[in-house]
Amino acid sequence: MNAARQPVRTYLIEPQLVFVPYLERLLLSAGLAVVATSRALDHRDLAFWDPLAVFVDIDYLERNELYALRQIRQTVPRASIIAYSSKDHSTFAASCHIAGANALISKGLDEAQLVTGIRRTMDEGYFTDDKSLLTLLERK
């Protein structure tokens, strides 16, 4: 008998509050339960919740997105960090991974692709969608 999978405790950082209900529903459908939401990177709150996953919209953060990813990684070193961005090129994707993100997911994906990317991140430990992996040769 297979036990049902428990939703993963997730911290959501979304500067634009209008998108929070949609993202909470999306994350839940991917198996992530949002336990706390913040409009900005708050180290104390993040450390308090000690989530197993952090979903962060890095396009509208007050800080440089790569610096923010490094700070999140330092605050919750065991968490899977999923960066969500409209910047979709391979150099940026590599920079996000080096900064500490487990995944970079493009905002241009449809809902099914977003859910698949989130699930793959949690199952495999990393993910970058094809849109973010465009090589320099493909863009020429």
Q: Which domains does the chain have, with CATH numbers?
A: 8-139 (3.40.50.2300)
pLDDT of residue 77 exceeding 60, the answer is yes
pLDDT digits 0-9 by tens, 60-72: 888 899 999 999 9
pLDDT of residue 50 exceeding 50, the answer is yes
Specify the 3-state DSSP secondary structure of 8. strand
This prediction has a pTM of 0.89
HSE-up of residue 50 (Cα within 13 Å, Cβ side): 2
Q: How far apart are CA 69 and CA 47, in angstroms?
A: 14
pLDDT digits 0-9 by tens, 88-128: 778 888 899 999 999 999 998 999 999 999 999 999 998 88
